[in-house]
């Protein structure tokens, strides 16, 4: 007979966040934003509260780029650049072809003129004609070595510390935490667990077409050079319906391109719900950038979404700045 | 200070399934199949075993029709028939149009000649031009009232009792249990939790195109009359890659149309893995049907997949037969 005795004491770090007196969001400054988050989470997770939400409906969705980590430049863009360079080095004939030539020359004007189609082409070239296993190996290898410009730290260090705390706080209160990114699903999945504590199964992202084929006597998932779904803007509620099948009661995005307005709008159709929009207003510790038409902040004001001012609401932005 | 003392004793009902002396699969007859299942699950979930698999990689996928519940006829087919009749009653002009006319007349010959395209048309007509919320309400209402032919019981009672036990046994050993069905994802999700203890987020199925639109001042997911992905045959590994992003180490299907061969093949690429194929050989308690070309059973024999004989391996098929 085995007897296991487990002692959990109320004054150690092992106490669940919701019952401890210590602050679950230490990197957030006290103020209206932090207070609103804690009030909502407490309200829906307190048994016998009139606003109690059963555990299975406590679903939270987070944009990734600019919401969970920095996006100036996009991390997946760094991967694309690295891979284009590697492809051109392996096959020098590519160096005279577009879009390789423009990438190698840093020819921003080429992409400005070619527009979104050229960006889609770059993504397609670098994310296809490869097995899923090989692609995942490439992505992991990228994350092992890539450095983020401006801060000159490994890209795995550009996670916003307050957001990682928020993810952990929600999980401690039995929320399902999901990533709902415009980035590629199989790119983001490679770091979802290590950086955010989120399983690959709880990542929603853009996808390419695939087929299941035999190759050298082995069956593989083969990535075809064709997009199947872009998980941005109106694509985000569709992605949430596909992977979750339920509206999130907690949704977080950021201002840059209006990419999260549809997700926050969709979440708000749930009567008891919470929407958060991050405003990049801290050019000193992060980056300051605004939409020319202010569309996301206007939507937040019109709909009563909580806005995070990085400058005012976050005591720390990145762990490496502490 | 709170002190919580937890005692887990080796001989009480609170012991995890893998260490209890009681039988986790009571509706399975003793024999090679049951033994192989228990041996595999014990092997991968025993700490310090050379074959130990970390919890995050314990992924099991189950086909639904003919694997978790009966498929003669398909439950989703009953839903389609009910809805076609309701549509034709609401708009009598449809009664003279195909495929409504053939459905109302029970004209099997029409569908035999029109082939798969006519079946896809039926599915499309009955699963689109409606919001996701409205569709889910229709499906739940169907499940509240529909009766399964032959047995004359509610359709919610045609779950195979041994398979529900297997799902629970795997969950008790910290497996993620997923449904990977050829049926519609939003159809199966309505009963996944109540019938199988599986959250809607762990259902993979066929999908139609959707859009996120404003309708009467409300934003809704609108189901378009176009399929986006059929989750059958080679579509199953693709669906698993899309929703799970990892190969299942435990995969279960059935023989009827070769629909699960690709999923089991994909699972077997994982060196330490287990594949199970159900053979419908019990015409007395269930239905006896075989593939004309025997393709699934041949694949099982060639690849060493475990075959379940319903007649010999299951002590009980349905709870209502006890």
Inter-chain CB proximity B7 and A2 less than 8 Å: no
Inter-chain CB proximity B242 and A207 less than 8 Å: yes
| Domain match, A247 and A314 both | yes
Closest of A263, A301, A245 to residue B219, by C-alpha: A263
Residues on chain B touching A186 (C-beta within 8 angstroms): 241, 245
The per-residue pLDDT for range A237-252, each reduced to its tens digit, is 999 999 999 999 999 9
Q: How high is the pLDDT of residue B188? A: 98
Inter-chain CB proximity A186 and B219 less than 8 Å: no
C-alpha A142/C-alpha A84 separation (Å) is 13
User: Is B250 part of a structural domain of the chain?
Assistant: yes
Q: How confident is the model at residue A21 (pLDDT cuts 50, 70, 90)?
A: low
Q: How high is the pLDDT of residue B115? A: 85
Three-state secondary-structure class, residue A14: coil
- Please say whether the beta carbons of B241 and A221 come within 8 A: yes
| Domain match, A167 and A281 both | yes
C-alpha A18/C-alpha B198 separation (Å) is 27
Q: Tell me which residue in A56, A202, A241 faces B132 most closely, judged by beta carbons.
A: A241
C-alpha A267/C-alpha A62 separation (Å) is 11
C-alpha B238/C-alpha A223 separation (Å) is 10
Q: How high is the pLDDT of residue B17? A: 41
| Domain match, A64 and A102 both | no
Q: How high is the pLDDT of residue A227? A: 93
SS (H, E, C) A191-229: HHHHHHCCCHHHEEEEEEEEEEEEECCEEEEEEEEEEEE
Concatenated DSSP letters of A34-80: HHHHHHHHHHHHSTT-TT---GGG-EEEE--BTTTB--SS-HHHHHH
Is pLDDT larger for residue A135 or for residue A114? A135
Among A109, A131, A148, the domain boundary falls at: A148
Interface test with A, best of B201, B233, B259, B268 (most A CBs within 10 A): B201
**Interval B172-192 mean pLDDT:** 98
Interface test with A, best of B21, B237, B259, B275 (most A CBs within 10 A): B237
| Domain match, A305 and A175 both | yes
Assess whether pLDDT exceeds 60 at residue A100. yes
Q: How high is the pLDDT of residue B108? A: 85
| Domain match, A80 and A186 both | no
Assess whether pLDDT exceeds 80 at residue B10. no
Which residues constitute the domain of residue B81? 75-148
Interface test with A, best of B1, B228, B241 (most A CBs within 10 A): B241
C-alpha B1/C-alpha A185 separation (Å) is 45
Q: Tell me which residue in B212, B218, B238 faces A237 most closely, judged by beta carbons.
A: B212
Distance from CA of A304 to the nearest CA of B (A): 16
User: Is A6 part of a structural domain of the chain?
Assistant: no
Is pLDDT larger for residue A95 or for residue B1? A95
Q: How confident is the model at residue B262 (pLDDT cuts 50, 70, 90)?
A: very high
Helices (H) and strands (E) in chain A, counts: 12, 11
**Interval A80-109 mean pLDDT:** 93
Distance from CA of B29 to the nearest CA of A (A): 29
User: Is A38 part of a structural domain of the chain?
Assistant: yes
The number of distinct structural domains making up chain A is 2
The per-residue pLDDT for range A152-208, each reduced to its tens digit, is 999 999 999 999 999 999 999 999 999 999 999 999 999 999 999 999 999 999 999
Distance from CA of B9 to the nearest CA of A (A): 5
**pLDDT over 90 for what percent of chain A?**
87
Inter-chain CB proximity A262 and B238 less than 8 Å: no
C-alpha A60/C-alpha A88 separation (Å) is 41
pTM above 0.90, yes or no: yes
Candidate from A2-11, A179-188, B170-179, B223-232 with smallest mean pLDDT: A2-11
Find the CATH number of the domain harbouring B273: 3.40.50.1000
Mean residue pLDDT across chain B: 92
| Domain match, A98 and A226 both | no
Distance from CA of B101 to the nearest CA of A (A): 33
| Domain match, B66 and B165 both | yes
Q: How confident is the model at residue A211 (pLDDT cuts 50, 70, 90)?
A: very high
User: Is A14 part of a structural domain of the chain?
Assistant: no
Assess whether pLDDT exceeds 60 at residue A49. yes
Q: How confident is the model at residue A5 (pLDDT cuts 50, 70, 90)?
A: very low
| Domain match, A235 and A106 both | no
Concatenated DSSP letters of B147-209: EETTTTEEGGG-B-HHHHHHHHHHHHTT-EEEEEEEEEHHHHHHHHHHHHS--GGGEEEEEEE
Distance from CA of A232 to the nearest CA of B (A): 12
C-alpha B159/C-alpha B141 separation (Å) is 19
Among A126, A148, A170, the domain boundary falls at: A148
Residues on chain B touching A211 (C-beta within 8 angstroms): 234, 238
Candidate from A118-127, A159-168, B284-293 with smallest mean pLDDT: A118-127
Q: How confident is the model at residue B11 (pLDDT cuts 50, 70, 90)?
A: very low
Distance from CA of A94 to the nearest CA of B (A): 31
User: Is B6 part of a structural domain of the chain?
Assistant: no
Q: How confident is the model at residue B117 (pLDDT cuts 50, 70, 90)?
A: confident
Among B148, B171, B203, the domain boundary falls at: B148
Q: How high is the pLDDT of residue B2? A: 27
Q: How confident is the model at residue B18 (pLDDT cuts 50, 70, 90)?
A: very low
| Domain match, A203 and A284 both | yes
Inter-chain CB proximity A4 and B7 less than 8 Å: yes
User: Is B153 part of a structural domain of the chain?
Assistant: no
C-alpha B251/C-alpha A304 separation (Å) is 46
Assess whether pLDDT exceeds 50 at residue B38. yes
Three-state secondary-structure class, residue B46: coil
Assess whether pLDDT exceeds 80 at residue A136. yes
Assess whether pLDDT exceeds 70 at residue A17. no
| Domain match, B181 and B284 both | yes
Q: How confident is the model at residue B21 (pLDDT cuts 50, 70, 90)?
A: low
| Domain match, B221 and B82 both | no
DSSP bridge pairs for A213: A220
**Interval B75-99 mean pLDDT:** 95
Q: How high is the pLDDT of residue B267? A: 98
Closest of A27, A29, A315 to residue A162, by C-alpha: A27
Q: Tell me which residue in A193, A203, A212 faces B234 most closely, judged by beta carbons.
A: A212
Mean residue pLDDT across chain A: 92
Residues on chain B touching A9 (C-beta within 8 angstroms): 1-3
Q: Nearest residue on chain A to B264, judged by CA atoms? A: A219
User: Is A30 part of a structural domain of the chain?
Assistant: yes
User: Is B166 part of a structural domain of the chain?
Assistant: yes
Q: Looking at this predicted complex, what is its ipTM? A: 0.92
Inter-chain CB proximity B200 and A265 less than 8 Å: no
| Domain match, A201 and A285 both | yes
Q: How high is the pLDDT of residue A124? A: 93
What residues of chain B have any CB closer than 8 angstroms to a CB in chain A? 1-11, 56, 132, 176, 185-186, 189, 193, 199-203, 207, 210-212, 218-221, 234-235, 237-238, 241-246, 262, 265-266, 269
The C-alpha torsion from B18 through B21 and B22 to B26, rounded to 10°, is 70
The per-residue pLDDT for range A268-316, each reduced to its tens digit, is 999 999 999 999 999 999 999 999 999 999 999 999 999 999 999 999 9
């Amino acid at each position: 007979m085995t007897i296991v005795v487990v002692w959990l004491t109320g004054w150690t770090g092992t106490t669940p966040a919701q019952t401890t007196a210590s602050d679950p969001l230490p990197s957030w400054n006290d103020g209206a934003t932090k207070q609103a988050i804690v009030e909502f989470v407490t309200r829906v997770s307190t048994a016998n509260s009139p606003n109690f939400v059963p555990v299975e409906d406590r679903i939270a969705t987070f944009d990734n780029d600019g919401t969970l980590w920095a996006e100036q430049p996009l991390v997946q863009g760094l991967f694309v650049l690295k891979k284009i360079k590697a492809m051109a080095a392996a096959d020098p004939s590519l160096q005279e072809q577009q879009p390789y030539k423009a990438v190698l020359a840093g020819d921003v004007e080429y992409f400005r003129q070619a527009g979104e189609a050229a960006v889609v082409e770059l993504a397609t070239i670098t994310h296809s004609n490869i097995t899923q296993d090989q692609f995942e190996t490439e992505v992991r290898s990228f994350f092992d070595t890539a450095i983020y410009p401006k801060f000159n730290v490994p890209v795995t260090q550009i996670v916003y510390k307050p957001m990682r705390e928020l993810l952990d706080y929600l999980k401690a209160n039995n929320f399902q935490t999901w990533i709902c990114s415009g980035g590629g699903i199989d790119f983001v999945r490679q770091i979802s667990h290590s950086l955010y504590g989120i399983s690959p199964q709880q990542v929603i992202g853009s996808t390419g077409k695939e087929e299941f084929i035999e190759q050298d006597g082995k069956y593989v998932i083969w990535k075809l050079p064709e997009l199947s779904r872009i998980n941005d803007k109106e694509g985000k509620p569709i992605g949430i319906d596909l992977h979750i099948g339920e509206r999130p009661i907690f949704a977080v995005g950021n201002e840059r391109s209006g990419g999260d307005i549809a997700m926050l709008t969709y979440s708000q159709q749930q009567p008891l719900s919470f929407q958060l929009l991050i405003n990049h207003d801290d050019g000193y510790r992060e980056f300051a950038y605004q939409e020319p038409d202010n569309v996301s902040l206007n939507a937040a004001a019109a709909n009563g979404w909580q806005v995070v001012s990085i400058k005012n609401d976050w005591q720390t932005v990145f762990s490496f700045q502490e």
